[in-house]
Amino acid sequence: MKTRHVGMMLVGLLLAAPASAESWRATGFAEDDRNIVTGALIDAFRFHAEAAATWYLNQLEGNLVSQKTFSQFSHAMVSATYGAFEYTYTKDGVRNTRIYYAMSGRDDPPTGLPSGHTPMANFIAQDSTRIHAYIGANDQSAIRWTEIETDAIPDQHRRDAELKAVRTIERDIRSGVVTRGGRLQAFVSQPMCDSCEHVMHEFERIYGADIQVNYLEGNLSPAYRRFRRLINGFMNTVLVLVQRPSRSNHPTPPSGGACGSIFVQ
């Protein structure tokens, strides 16, 4: 485990923001046997994956799917970055925490199935403390993704999980649901890119947040490999469901609650 304080100046970014003495903290976990980060990430994955499984089964309408077709959906789910962003704030003298769950990539993961389906967001079950993080079509914000010189795809960071989370918290601040100046405790499945680090700098600078980011080290770390095995296990179980000869004896799962009982830990 290693902790670092991240300053404002980032190499390789085209930044307009001035340098600041403020810094936020980032701690990487190569091992996570105590589930300090992994537990929150499993919650973030299930928040999206259970809804995604219901959404996918709904599109199949009882039909079967080949493993090759399913792999388009499965790959998008297991390769995404997941994050749980716990924002603690004080409002009217009461201390509260809301957890913003974010998944990188398209709002509707590719499925290999015919288009025209209901948005996946309609299947996500959220409440007053567990929030689906997304970037609204009409969002007006100074917190934006940043193009990095080495990027192969233009605007590839506009769907980063960290940006989705921060922009959703920002909407809640502007609407008065939460207050500025809170504490953000983030749990992220991979090290942040330069664009996401800049997003954190801007959220700290504009809204006075106290930020601690906890992340799993890269793909070769034991902690990340363990997390990847867990989410692969979930998607493999969904594959078993869609390849069965018949699902006529299986009741339709409730919206947002599919496959909760089949998650492999």
The residue among 183, 188, 181, 182 whose CA lies nearest residue 213 is 188
The residue among 129, 164, 120, 127 whose CA lies nearest residue 144 is 164
CA atoms of 20 and 11, how far apart (whole Å): 15
Q: Which two tokens stand for residue 246?
A: 């018949």
pLDDT: which is higher, 149 or 182: 182
For the cut 60, the answer to whether the pLDDT of residue 13 exceeds it is: no
User: Strand pairing partners for 91?
Assistant: 94
Per cent of the chain over pLDDT 90 is 66
**pLDDT the model gives residue 6:** 65
Whether the Cβ atoms of residue 107 and residue 118 lie closer than 8 Å to each other: no
pTM: 0.84
CA atoms of 45 and 264, how far apart (whole Å): 12
pLDDT: which is higher, 112 or 265: 112
How many CB atoms lie under 10 A from the CB of residue 98? 20
For the cut 90, the answer to whether the pLDDT of residue 163 exceeds it is: yes
Q: What pLDDT digit, counting tens, does each position of 78-89 carry?
A: 999 999 999 999
User: Strand pairing partners for 98?
Assistant: 87
For the cut 70, the answer to whether the pLDDT of residue 264 exceeds it is: no
CA atoms of 105 and 119, how far apart (whole Å): 14
pLDDT band at 148 (very low <50, low <70, confident <90, very high): low
Helix intervals (H) in the chain: 38-60, 67-79, 161-175, 194-207, 222-243
Q: What pLDDT digit, counting tens, does each position of 173-228 carry?
A: 999 999 999 999 999 999 999 999 999 999 999 999 999 999 999 888 999 999 99
Whether the Cβ atoms of residue 239 and residue 70 lie closer than 8 Å to each other: yes
Helices 194-207 and 161-175 cross at an angle (nearest 10°) of 20
For the cut 70, the answer to whether the pLDDT of residue 9 exceeds it is: no
State the pairing for strand pair 2-6/24-29: antiparallel
**pLDDT the model gives residue 150:** 64
What's the mean per-residue pLDDT of the chain? 85
SS (H, E, C) 70-112: HHHHHHHHHHCCEEEEEEEEEECCEEEEEEEEEECCCCCCCCC
For the cut 90, the answer to whether the pLDDT of residue 256 exceeds it is: no
Per cent of the chain over pLDDT 70 is 80
DSSP symbol at 61: T
**pLDDT the model gives residue 49:** 97
CA atoms of 250 and 253, how far apart (whole Å): 8
